[in-house]
Amino acid sequence: MNAKPRGLLISERFLARNAAALDAASREGGLTLEPIVVPDDPEARVDADACTRIELAYFSGDVFPERSRAFFAAALNAPALRWLQVFNAGVDHPVFQRFVEKGVRLTTAAGSSAEPIAQTAFAGLLMLARGFPHWLDAQARGAWEPTPLSNVPADLRGQTLLVFGLGAIGSELARLARAFGLRVIGVRRSPAAGGEPVDELHPPERLRDLLPRADWLALACALTDETRSAIDAAALALLPRGARVLNVSRGGVVDELALIAALREGRLAGAYLDVFAEEPLPRESPLWTLPNVIVTPHNSSVSRGNEQRAADIFLRNLVRYGRGERLANEVRA
């Protein structure tokens, strides 16, 4: 075992909940660790001398200033930092790019919250498909208003769901959709490996050819230079009249003004949106009040099991790091 202690920046909460598992993983990876703990007190700071000993860091929270200021202040001032693992699946926040630019290896917890996100997106799909916005509006007004015969929903079975981004989230959403009888078309960069839960799989350059076939467009891709504004006015116009959009990726994937226009004009029949161009979503945004639009506050992932699933990904990567093996979910510059 390497006797030289490696400074590991972690939260007080993580250490309290995972001390035994952390010790086991470090021994399995042949590491001797010195935990450098970020106190739960948001006003606390990590000692400057301790920062010089940080080689590894695990960020086990979301990027909110009041919760993360002390952690990132220490990590950004750690000259020996070599590897940062984050709780997040997406790392488009500018703070993460700063680490990549410094040459720090960056890994994510991609997949840890895939099930709750996919379940929430599918709940949005079901609510739209079954006409819940109408019923919820009537309930808020205390009105008994059965669905009018002119607006009886179509059967869900046999409709087509187009999933843009067939990673862990998109794959789980596809699996759920097929269980309900939808035909699923997946779009992703990597070629088929076998076992994908879709009826068809295509590369991103085929996206616009596929849009006219979609009753539902689900966005589950990462925000990259290639996906930013990929769903613009022209793309939305290719969807059949009456199609619906589900977005659990990032607001920047969609031209939000074009989306609002399509919803207002009735070309789109509805949308479930968890992410937006500006967050929090401004009070004056029409999305709050448009009929057949369901808004959630970038909260589709919330679930009690996420914290432990993300911790387990980090602990497995810690073993790999100690052994000099390839790290899972590493972000490439």
* Catalytic annotation, residues: 250, 279, 298
Looking up tokens 């689900």 gives 218
What's the token pair of residue 36? 């450098």
Q: Are 293 and 287 in contact (CB under 8 A)?
A: yes
Give every CB contact of residue 284 below 8 A, 6+ residues apart in sequence: none
User: What is the rounded CA–CA span in Å between residue 166 and residue 301?
Assistant: 17
Give every CB contact of residue 241 below 8 A, 6+ residues apart in sequence: 266, 267
Q: Are 88 and 108 in contact (CB under 8 A)?
A: yes
Give every CB contact of residue 162 below 8 A, 6+ residues apart in sequence: 184, 185, 187, 210, 211, 213, 214, 216, 217, 218
**CA-wise closest residue to 108 among 169, 17, 47, 38:** 169
